[in-house]
Homo-oligomer: A and B are copies of this chain.
Amino acid sequence: MERPSPIAALKAVLPEAVWTEDADRIAPRLSEWRGRWRGETPIMLLPRNTAEVSACVRACAELGLPITTQGGNTGLVGGQIPLGEVLLSTERLTAVRQVSPLDDALTVESGVTLLQAQQAAAEVERLFPLSLAAEGTATVGGVISTNAGGTAVLRYGVMRDLVLGIEAVLPDGRVFKGLRALRKNNTGYDLKQLFIGAEGTLGVVTAATLKLFPVMRSRATAMVGLNDPEAAIRLLALAKSETGGGVDAFELMKRIGIELVLQHIPDTREPLDRPSPWYVLLELASGEPGAAEAALPRVLERALSERLILDAAIAQNAAQAAAFWRLREEQSAGQKPEGPGWKHDVSVPVSQVAAFIDQATAAAESTCTGARVSAFGHVGDGNIHFDVLMPSGGDRAAFEAAREEGSRRIHDIADQLSGSISAEHGLGRLKTAEAARYKDPVELDLQRAVRAALDPRRLMNPGVLF
């Protein structure tokens, strides 16, 4: 008698409701929205609770079957796409287990979307602050596994800063029960940290306890014109100091980015009377009614008197604030009609932002004559989306041919300035080799030692990280 295939054996040990081989059902899970990856999988597992996740992972471990775990499938670096592995989806792990306003804590399963988590917090008059474009689809488990950032990092930190506890199924199927709503607990290594940003390599996150915050009571938004990124960084320090940390957003944009949005995106308009070489979208918030509105003019007047800024416009109502935000949010869309671009998601220490932009711009322009640089991003966190656009009417093939060298030089500059080549998107399948170039060998060894300790057979998301 022939031995059954591992997949047949897997199906035999799991309840029928927990798996599917339906190609139509699986297909949307095998590509992602940018269309960069086409995956394949023999089977998709759809466990409904932690016990079923444990049974699925244990069965795969016993059969030696590697697993790729997928949340909302919004990742940008291919980490969620199986290339032959079993696909484990968290889409049925959707329970909101506990909302505890007195603890400022919310416990949800990992398939809950970021938006649903935000809504569960809002229902008890609390804020879950992590916010990003894909929040209607991105799941809590995915956002934990990629340690996502987004637009509220300056005040509230990245996902790592917002997680109080984690429940996860380990690579051998055992359950790590780390769901705690404790603010202080010093009893050994803080193991939950391992699963945050691990991109699914150390187990499957099944639930998390998240930190909640008070809802803010005042908010004020301005668009500011400046001469250069150096001035922007000094404005940031001034605004933080004047408000005691009340800066909620600080987004830098270059004139070309504003111009492309005005040119290509309908219903957008110049934010200031005269164009400036650079712009900052500055937003203050406070728990005190009226405090942000009072602080913003004070900050801007001082910045004007210190000649840090050229011009500024304070949003007079929510619609004007939204119009300012639109100029920021459409930066990528505004570039699209201009053809391909070399895109980079780097971070550097805030003090090095201006040096990075200067040096990287020079590197881009010397790698490809006429290339146009549109740098923008969450500069309050040192995070720059450094995009190099094709020369106007330029030679597309020549631009593509220069991409590898150009990106390499830009990443080298970030590295030399003590920066990172992946500030918020993670490494996934896309950036792992590039990241390994910049890692110290000791750190690479440590990365591998930790992985081997938890997943000695490398069965969890084997294609990602080191």
Judge whether A427 is part of the interface by a CB distance below 8 angstroms.
yes
Which residue of the partner chain B has the closest CB to A243?
B287
Write the nearest CB–CB distance from A164 to chain B, whole angstroms.
9
Q: If A180-B418, A442-B177 touch, does A423 touch B288 (CB 8 Å cutoff)?
A: no
A454 to chain B minimum Cβ distance, whole angstroms, is 7
**Which residues of the other chain, B, contact A431 by a CB distance below 8 angstroms?**
187
- Against B, the Cβ 8 Å flags (1 = close, 0 = not) of A219-243 are 0000000000000011001001111
A119 within 8 A of B: no
Interface with B: A145-153, A318-326, A394-402, which one?
A145-153
- Total copies of the chain: 2
Contacts of A181 in B (CB 8 A): 349-351, 418
Is B153 within 8 A of A446, CB to CB? Answer: no
Minimum distance in angstroms from A274 CB to a CB of chain B: 28
Assembled-state Cα–Cα distance A241/B426 (Å): 34
CB of A184 within 8 A of CB of B237, answer no
- Residue A242 contacts which of B187, B234, B287 (CB distance < 8 angstroms)? B287
* Chain A, range 158-215, C-beta contacts under 8 Å to B: 158, 160-161, 170, 174-178, 180-191, 193-194, 196-198, 213-215
Q: What are 29 A-B interface contacts by the 8 Å CB criterion?
A: A102-B233, A102-B234, A102-B350, A104-B240, A104-B350, A149-B186, A153-B184, A158-B183, A158-B184, A160-B190, A174-B442, A177-B442, A180-B349, A180-B418, A182-B347, A182-B349, A182-B382, A183-B383, A184-B382, A184-B423, A186-B197, A187-B431, A188-B427, A189-B465, A190-B196, A190-B197, A191-B443, A243-B287, A288-B288
> Nearest 7 CB-CB pairs, A to B?
A244-B287, A453-B453, A102-B351, A193-B193, A185-B420, A181-B349, A184-B423
